[in-house]
Amino acid sequence: MKHKNNNVIISIGSNLNGHMNTSKKILNIVFYYLGKQDLRVRKASRIYISKPFPSGLGPVFYNRVVMIKSNINPLEILNRLKRIERVFSKRSKVINSPRVLDLDILDYKGKVIDYKNYLNLPHPRMNNRDFILKPMYDICPNWINPSTGETIESLLYNYKKSNISVAKVI
């Protein structure tokens, strides 16, 4: 019998201090808010620091990846993540702009999901972001991209071959 995968992988990023705390501390404080939305963190990566992507301009980002176990559907999880982001600040409409809190679903139970430009999983741009790949490797070194069959190890190797690594553990 195949093991049922209830793991949901979420990225947490911050590069602006909020009314609640500094960007770095927000990466821990957000665990409380995730728990209040029935998204209790089971595993958390180390915290990584990186320059804003893709411009490299602006305050540095603090990033980490967490694993939760949940039977909540992916659209509802996304709604809950957006609710948590609003607690910390209003999100800018400008793509890749500085923000107090950015929460993204990276993987939902190893499934490929496409909800018409609203939610695509696994996260379609994660392969080009070492600030996602490195912390993801911390918590799930055996992860396989359900879209491509590539391992997280292979994705990291290919990233390092063709890009300058920007994410560093703090």
Alpha helices by DSSP H, listed for the chain, are 23-36, 74-88, 130-139, 152-162
Instruction: Judge whether 48 lies within some domain.
Output: yes
pLDDT of residue 53: 73
- What are the tokens at 158? 């290919």
pLDDT of residue 160: 85
User: In this structure, are residues 68 and 106 in contact, taking their beta carbons and an 8 Å threshold?
Assistant: no
Which of 3, 5, 120, 140 is closest to 69 using CA atoms?
5
Lowest mean pLDDT among 65-69, 114-118, 137-141: 114-118
pLDDT of residue 64: 96
Does residue 3 have a pLDDT over 50? no
Angle, CA 104 vertex, CA 100 and CA 106 arms, to 5°: 150
Read off the pLDDT of residues 147-160 as tens digits, 9 standing for 90 and up: 999 999 999 999 88
CATH code for the domain of 104 = 3.30.70.560
pLDDT of residue 165: 73
pLDDT of residue 91: 62
Which of 125, 128, 120 is closest to 155 using CA atoms?
128
pLDDT of residue 58: 78
Instruction: Judge whether 1 lies within some domain.
Output: no
Number of domains in the chain: 1
Does residue 37 have a pLDDT over 80? yes
Does residue 18 have a pLDDT over 80? no
pLDDT of residue 44: 97
Q: Which domain holds residue 70?
A: 7-169
Read off the pLDDT of residues 126-146 as tens digits, 9 standing for 90 and up: 998 999 999 999 999 999 999
Instruction: Judge whether 66 lies within some domain.
Output: yes
pLDDT of residue 89: 80
Find the distance separating the first CA and the last CA of the chain, reported in whole Å: 41
Instruction: Judge whether 137 lies within some domain.
Output: yes
Does residue 76 have a pLDDT over 60? yes
CA–CA gap between residue 39 and residue 78 (Å, rounded): 11
Q: Is 153 exposed, middle or buried (0-12, 13-18, 19+ CB in 10 A)?
A: middle
Mean pLDDT, the chain, integer:
88
Mean pLDDT calculated for residue range 103-128: 92
User: In this structure, are residues 113 and 105 in contact, taking their beta carbons and an 8 Å threshold?
Assistant: no
Task: Select, from the ranges 12-21, 35-44, 93-102, 159-168, the one with the highest average predicted confidence (pLDDT).
Answer: 35-44
Buried-exposed string 61-91: b where 16+ CB fall within 10 A, e elsewhere: bbbbbbbbebebebeebbebbeebbeebbee
CA–CA gap between residue 67 and residue 51 (Å, rounded): 24
CA–CA gap between residue 149 and residue 104 (Å, rounded): 21
